[in-house]
Amino acid sequence: MHKTIHQYYIYILTNKKNGTLYIGMTNDLQRRIYEHKNKLNDGFTKKYNLDRLVYFENHQFVDDAIKREKNLKNWKRDWKINLIIKDNPQWEDLASNWYDQ
């Protein structure tokens, strides 16, 4: 019996360095970021123009991903910023070259 390995992603979006932060979870990071960049879903990220992917991590199990997402959402803003700058000090858009322009 083959067991499929699933990936679940926690991600952080912003609109600019030190800007508004959004934490989300998905099982298809490229599709989800595409939706954010193209404003396909109404809501917080569309309202605040949050389409710069500055951080993500993957998890094999959905329960772990949900737990991590809830945990991060409860973090202080400083902690979230430190998490981002640890791996992405310039707050670059990690998805900038994922799609054809």
Give φ, ψ of 98 to 5 degrees: -80, -25
Contact indicator for 24, 46 with CB cutoff of 8 Å: no
Percent of the chain with pLDDT over 90: 91
The CB density around residue 82, as the number of other CB atoms within 10 Å, is 11
Domain ranges of the chain: 8-87
All residues at 6 or more sequence positions from 78 whose CB lies less than 8 Å from its CB, including other chains: none
pLDDT tens-digit series, residues 19-51:
999 999 999 999 999 999 999 999 999 999 999
pTM of structure: 0.93
For the 8-87 domain, the top CATH level (class) is alpha beta
Which candidate, 91, 89, 98, places its Cα nearest to that of 52?
91
Q: Cα(first)–Cα(last) distance of the chain, in Å?
A: 41
pLDDT recorded at residue 100: 75
